Chain A
Amino acid sequence: MALDDRKSEFNFVGTRPDRPDGLDKVTGRAKFGADAYAPGMLHGAILRSPHAHARIIKIDASKAEAHKDVKAVVTRADFSDKPEFKPGLEGEFWNVLENVMAGEKALYDGHAIAAVAATSALAARDALKLIEVEYEVLPHVTDVDKAMAPDAPVIREGAADYSVPAGMHPNVVRYHESGHGEVEAGFAEADLVIEDSFATEATHQGYIEPHACLAMLGNDGKGELWCTTQGHWYAQKYCAAALGIETAQLRVTASEIGGGFGGKTTVFIEPVALALSRKANRPVKLVMSRSEVFRATGPTSSASMDIKIGMKKDGTITGAQGIFRLQGGAFPGAPGDMTAMCGFAPYNLTNVRQVGYDVMANRPKQAAYRAPGAPMGAFAVESVIDELCKKLGLDPIDVRLKNAAHEGTKANYGPTYERIGLVETLEAAKAHPHYAAPLKPGQGRGISCGFWFNHGGETSVSLALSEDGSAQLMVGTPDIGGSRASMALMAAEVLGIPYENIRVTIADTATLGYNDVSHGSRVTYASGLATIKAAKHAVEKLCERAAVKWGIPGDAVKWEDGCAVPSGPNAGDFDPMPLADITADMGATGGPISGHFEATPEGAGVSFGTHIVDAEVDPETGKTSVIRYTVIQDAGKAIHPDYVEGQFQGGAAQGIGWALNEEYVYGEDGRLQNSIFLDYRIPVASDLPMIDTVIVEVPNPGHPFGVRGVGETGIVPPLAAIANAVSNAAGVRMRQLPMSPPRILAALKENG
């Protein structure tokens, strides 16, 4: 047979066809958030607080309202008063609304105060200058440690939930503690104990496409919203709550998305555009500037961390403890719990304890950023492990292998691991030529492991067959990483028809059941699982129709290579019946054939990676060059290897930025100093080496094809791996990110 040389058990999965959205994107035909227009459309603009913390005494919009080009002005009074303030994350509808449009106080530099809709974007911008706001400026705090100090200004009383121990500052709003064993006993067993403190600054996801939307909301409570988002059902739910309308009356369509990385899992401008539209009775388009994106969307948390680890001379970790304090802006939600749980997750530990704090400060409400919380924790933990290896003269990969978690390990955060691939990534790292390559003077090598949970989430998929034998697949998870290609490959695998014959559409909220956001590395896992099950559902019907045609029982037909065939010699002797022969007359044999799946898949396998980095530090300027980078990660099963490798490389690239130069810089006045890409120093292409990748495949038992999500784990090890490489190159331990040239040069000077 022609396929005799095929080594895979799969026909389509694991191949690398062109992405279905490729031509649209390279020709400019793809429609992103700002590419939508409507007849009579107005343009919105948002007035933002220049203060980090201020009471809003008065908003006088009369001059703006009187301007001939202005059709509506909205403030908080134009939104629903139903969402209630509650402690912690219980009141998330209120938290999101309060973030979208300030209530009594401006809580950070850039917080929305009012908005206008006018006949042009320029008119809207200029009309903002006509709105007079009287503020009472309040003391502010932007640093996580200072925000926890007894004398820190209180952002909001009563925001702490039940988890916070008594006596903590009101800015501490959630508390997490977990672990097992006795850490003090563990430290007593150690030959060497190292305790150190670490800090990371907030970084932004840096997606190239600013938030943009087109909103229409009539006085009948029926609305349409087009927006760039990772989750349009989430947008639907939160916008409906903010506007006080029924969820089902708001139809939300996700545009093509120019990057999200977690930052587009919530809403910022969408409820504002809807409120303006309702008031003006016209469609309203709102597009953020880059400066607004930096000031008023969700960067990641900043962190302050204390790590203590004890190790025996043979490399065995005897005890591990971490205190992780995360600042998440003026609202609850900083993932201190995630940081705490992920830091030690790669290791099989007898004695481990971790504490996470969620702390509020006068900064924008943090949003998810790829494996939210995990990279900072890995930075702190893996730095201390590196230092222990150095002091004890041990190989950093051998030590990690010695302590590596595996199937059956009781994880530091509670559960017992099923089949996982950490050891395989470490073994691949050890065997990789990169690990044995010689280093030149001034260069250093760093290793780090990283962990992320991965997620399942509510998922609906619908697959419809056409008369000509082609298939349309409707999924509800916006394609942020090439998922349409992966979905088509998985559907092709089950149906046995060519990849090209399947059109994958991201359905809007009115045409498919509920879907959780494209986050948690869940899309290829959960929408993929749903696609496979929906395709199998269609195959069952195809077999039934063939059985009817052949006049044999339904269970006497099976599906092979795109055809119905008799299940065995006893079923009868019929030629294979191709899919298109069945669909050609499906109208007459029982009606349209479709497959569906609606559920919440629970088997997202956890994912591990190991990174190897070589860095060179200029001792005279403190400038770091990353000269070689290798990502090794368990993908379970790579459906479309190009996009798996792309996720690995993207995680490393963003990690390099976070480690070396990206940071939110706040002035003494609490205002963001670097709200443009010129001064928020994301890596440019020439800053990066070629990032090599190794896909390890330890199948996830929770997915029919073995998929583990790959989108997030790739950003967990880079901060630590780069810090270890830089520290080894510079000869001085770097405990604060970013490791910018001034910081490295100062450390070198201090070290003599």
Chain B
Amino acid sequence: MDYHSPASFVEASALAANATGITRFLAGGTDVLVQLRSDLVTPDTLIDIKKINGVRDITRNADGSWTLGVAATGAEMSEHPELGRDWPGVVEAMDLIGSTQVQGRATLTGNLCNGSPAADSVPAMVAAGVTVTVTGPDGARELAVEDIPTGPGKTALAKGELISAVNIPARGANGGDAYLRFIPRTEMDIAVVGVGVNLRLDGDKIIEARVSLGAVAPTVLLVEDCAKAIIGTTLDEVALDALATAASAACNPIDDKRGTIEFRTEVAGVLAKRTAKIAYARAKGEHA
């Protein structure tokens, strides 16, 4: 196994482009190192991106948007004084992952690139409209988070490409986001269903919404029908029921050790309602 710790993303990209066999990028290592230790994946080339300048930075830009370095950890996000006020759903989703120890290492980018349909931070990022900057042999491009996963363990990143920044939009006025997941326990578990909701109000009325579902299909879903069900409403009971119906209808889950098709489909609707209520309350400035 070859270990590299490049000083720039361009260098990292070149290393990956020229590598043969299995290549893995190493940020927090909470997936890569575990897979290595348990003999699931033994990379031929391991490229540690933590030594690149600025990868731990969490920056609020002049326009109110945020740029997160790819090695900023869950703990650093949770402890940031401002980020969670703008995007509590994104921060809370990240904070749900693993233990305190894992939070000290795990990153949004790693959670996204691991390609799990049950990744907690991904539905929250999709709902929030987060994009990522991708550096590759042909330069940089920007992709929406929902366009990164293409199947369980698979991403749209080509050989030599890696994510070099996470871009969270400006929160703007009268907006709120939330993420909830279902697990049979209280922590230290993998989502059986996850729902991210981000919306904006004009008065009491929802004028923008994005709803994302996790763990109910081969990839995290951005569900237009869910958004349509609540845009133009005050999130009354009728709207909530329509949201639940749309969420359940969007599910294409599997039966496995973590849950059944019926259960995931049903609970996706239940969680969509609960998550939307929290996002709505936050958009109204209520603490929830």
Contacts known (A741-B263, A742-B259); A686 close to B187, Cβ less than 8 A: yes
Q: Which residues of A contact B186 (CB under 8 A)?
A: 684, 686-687
Do B262 and A746 touch (CB < 8 A)? yes
CA separation between A660 and B187, bound complex, in Å? 15
Do B184 and A125 touch (CB < 8 A)? no
CA separation between A43 and B190, bound complex, in Å? 33
Name B228-285 residues within 8 Å CB distance of A.
256-260, 262-263, 266-267, 270
- Select from chain B the residue with minimum beta-carbon distance to A672: B257
Contact for B256 among A289, A673, A683, A746, CB less than 8 A: A673
Contact with A along B158-200 (1 / 0, CB 8 A): 0000000000000000000000001011111110100000000
- Select from chain B the residue with minimum beta-carbon distance to A678: B190
Q: Which residues of B contact A740 (CB under 8 A)?
A: 184
Name A654-692 residues within 8 Å CB distance of B.
660-661, 665, 673-674, 678-679, 681, 683-684, 686-687
Do B185 and A687 touch (CB < 8 A)? yes
CA separation between A68 and B263, bound complex, in Å? 52
CA separation between A683 and B258, bound complex, in Å? 15
CA separation between A715 and B108, bound complex, in Å? 41
Contacts known (A620-B270, A742-B263); A681 close to B38, Cβ less than 8 A: no
- Select from chain B the residue with minimum beta-carbon distance to A125: B39
- Select from chain B the residue with minimum beta-carbon distance to A741: B184
Determine if A745 is an interface residue (Cβ-Cβ < 8 Å).
yes
Name A678-713 residues within 8 Å CB distance of B.
678-679, 681, 683-684, 686-687
- Select from chain A the residue with minimum beta-carbon distance to B99: A684
Contact for A673 among B189, B257, B267, CB less than 8 A: B257
CA separation between A679 and B189, bound complex, in Å? 8
Contact for B262 among A125, A673, A742, CB less than 8 A: A742
Contact with B along A268-290 (1 / 0, CB 8 A): 00000000000000000000010
Contact for B267 among A621, A665, A678, A681, CB less than 8 A: A621
CA separation between A684 and B260, bound complex, in Å? 23
Tell me, rounded to whole Å, the shortest Cβ–Cβ distance linking B53 to chain A: 34
Name A708-748 residues within 8 Å CB distance of B.
740-742, 745-746
Q: Which residues of A contact B39 (CB under 8 A)?
A: 125
Q: Which residues of A contact B185 (CB under 8 A)?
A: 661, 681, 683-684, 686-687
Determine if A623 is an interface residue (Cβ-Cβ < 8 Å).
yes
Tell me, rounded to whole Å, the shortest Cβ–Cβ distance linking A170 to chain B: 31
Tell me, rounded to whole Å, the shortest Cβ–Cβ distance linking A396 to chain B: 27
Determine if A472 is an interface residue (Cβ-Cβ < 8 Å).
no
Interface of A is mostly: loop
Q: Which residues of A contact B256 (CB under 8 A)?
A: 673
- Select from chain A the residue with minimum beta-carbon distance to B259: A742
Do A291 and B38 touch (CB < 8 A)? yes
Contact for B257 among A623, A679, A683, CB less than 8 A: A679
Do A661 and B184 touch (CB < 8 A)? yes
Q: Which residues of A contact B192 (CB under 8 A)?
A: 741
CA separation between A713 and B184, bound complex, in Å? 27
Q: Which residues of B contact A679 (CB under 8 A)?
A: 190, 257-258
CA separation between A740 and B259, bound complex, in Å? 9
Tell me, rounded to whole Å, the shortest Cβ–Cβ distance linking A719 to chain B: 17
Do A681 and B189 touch (CB < 8 A)? yes
Do B266 and A745 touch (CB < 8 A)? yes
Tell me, rounded to whole Å, the shortest Cβ–Cβ distance linking A206 to chain B: 14
- Select from chain B the residue with minimum beta-carbon distance to A688: B186
Most buried by B among A623, A742, A746: A742
Do A745 and B184 touch (CB < 8 A)? no
Q: Which residues of B contact A674 (CB under 8 A)?
A: 257
Do A623 and B182 touch (CB < 8 A)? yes
Name A114-161 residues within 8 Å CB distance of B.
125
CA separation between A620 and B270, bound complex, in Å? 7
Interface of B is mostly: loop
Q: Which residues of B contact A678 (CB under 8 A)?
A: 188-190
Do A745 and B257 touch (CB < 8 A)? no
CA separation between A679 and B259, bound complex, in Å? 11
- Select from chain A the residue with minimum beta-carbon distance to B188: A684
CA separation between A665 and B260, bound complex, in Å? 13
Contact with B along A446-483 (1 / 0, CB 8 A): 00000000000000000000000000000000000000
CA separation between A432 and B257, bound complex, in Å? 39
CA separation between A561 and B173, bound complex, in Å? 79
CA separation between A623 and B262, bound complex, in Å? 15
CA separation between A11 and B51, bound complex, in Å? 63
Q: Which residues of A contact B270 (CB under 8 A)?
A: 620-621
Q: Which residues of B contact A291 (CB under 8 A)?
A: 38
Tell me, rounded to whole Å, the shortest Cβ–Cβ distance linking B237 to chain A: 14
CA separation between A679 and B192, bound complex, in Å? 11
Q: Which residues of A contact B262 (CB under 8 A)?
A: 742, 745-746
- Select from chain B the residue with minimum beta-carbon distance to A680: B257
Tell me, rounded to whole Å, the shortest Cβ–Cβ distance linking B92 to chain A: 16
- Select from chain A the residue with minimum beta-carbon distance to B190: A678
CA separation between A51 and B240, bound complex, in Å? 48
Tell me, rounded to whole Å, the shortest Cβ–Cβ distance linking A627 to chain B: 13
CA separation between A733 and B39, bound complex, in Å? 43
- Select from chain A the residue with minimum beta-carbon distance to B256: A673
CA separation between A620 and B187, bound complex, in Å? 19
CA separation between A344 and B192, bound complex, in Å? 39
CA separation between A678 and B184, bound complex, in Å? 12
CA separation between A665 and B255, bound complex, in Å? 12
Q: Which residues of A contact B258 (CB under 8 A)?
A: 679
CA separation between A741 and B262, bound complex, in Å? 11
CA separation between A679 and B188, bound complex, in Å? 10
Do B189 and A621 touch (CB < 8 A)? no
CA separation between A661 and B188, bound complex, in Å? 14
Tell me, rounded to whole Å, the shortest Cβ–Cβ distance linking A726 to chain B: 13
- Select from chain B the residue with minimum beta-carbon distance to A620: B270
Do A742 and B260 touch (CB < 8 A)? yes
Do B187 and A665 touch (CB < 8 A)? no
Tell me, rounded to whole Å, the shortest Cβ–Cβ distance linking B265 to chain A: 11
CA separation between A674 and B259, bound complex, in Å? 12
Name B180-227 residues within 8 Å CB distance of A.
182, 184-190, 192
Q: Which residues of A contact B259 (CB under 8 A)?
A: 741-742
CA separation between A620 and B241, bound complex, in Å? 13
Q: Which residues of B contact A683 (CB under 8 A)?
A: 185
CA separation between A221 and B258, bound complex, in Å? 49
Contact for A660 among B182, B184, B190, B267, CB less than 8 A: B184
CA separation between A217 and B184, bound complex, in Å? 47
Contact with A along B94-135 (1 / 0, CB 8 A): 000000000000000000000000000000000000000000
Q: Which residues of A contact B187 (CB under 8 A)?
A: 684, 686
CA separation between A665 and B184, bound complex, in Å? 15
Tell me, rounded to whole Å, the shortest Cβ–Cβ distance linking B201 to chain A: 26
CA separation between A740 and B189, bound complex, in Å? 14
CA separation between A660 and B184, bound complex, in Å? 9
CA separation between A687 and B259, bound complex, in Å? 19
CA separation between A741 and B258, bound complex, in Å? 10
Do B184 and A681 touch (CB < 8 A)? yes
CA separation between A661 and B192, bound complex, in Å? 13
Q: Which residues of A contact B182 (CB under 8 A)?
A: 621, 623, 741
CA separation between A684 and B267, bound complex, in Å? 22
Name B47-90 residues within 8 Å CB distance of A.
none
Q: Which residues of B contact A620 (CB under 8 A)?
A: 267, 270
Tell me, rounded to whole Å, the shortest Cβ–Cβ distance linking A676 to chain B: 8
CA separation between A621 and B260, bound complex, in Å? 12
Name A25-77 residues within 8 Å CB distance of B.
none
Using a CB–CB cutoff of 8 Å, the interface residues on chain A facing chain B are 125, 289, 291, 620-623, 660-661, 665, 673-674, 678-679, 681, 683-684, 686-687, 740-742, 745-746
The 6 closest A-B pairs by CB, nearest first: A742-B263, A686-B186, A620-B270, A665-B257, A673-B257, A674-B257
Q: What are 18 A-B interface contacts by the 8 Å CB criterion?
A: A125-B39, A289-B38, A620-B267, A620-B270, A621-B270, A622-B263, A660-B184, A661-B184, A665-B257, A679-B190, A683-B185, A684-B188, A686-B186, A740-B184, A741-B184, A741-B263, A742-B263, A746-B260
- Further contacts, 5 of them, CB under 8 A, given A289-B38, A621-B182, A686-B185: A661-B185, A678-B188, A678-B190, A681-B184, A687-B185
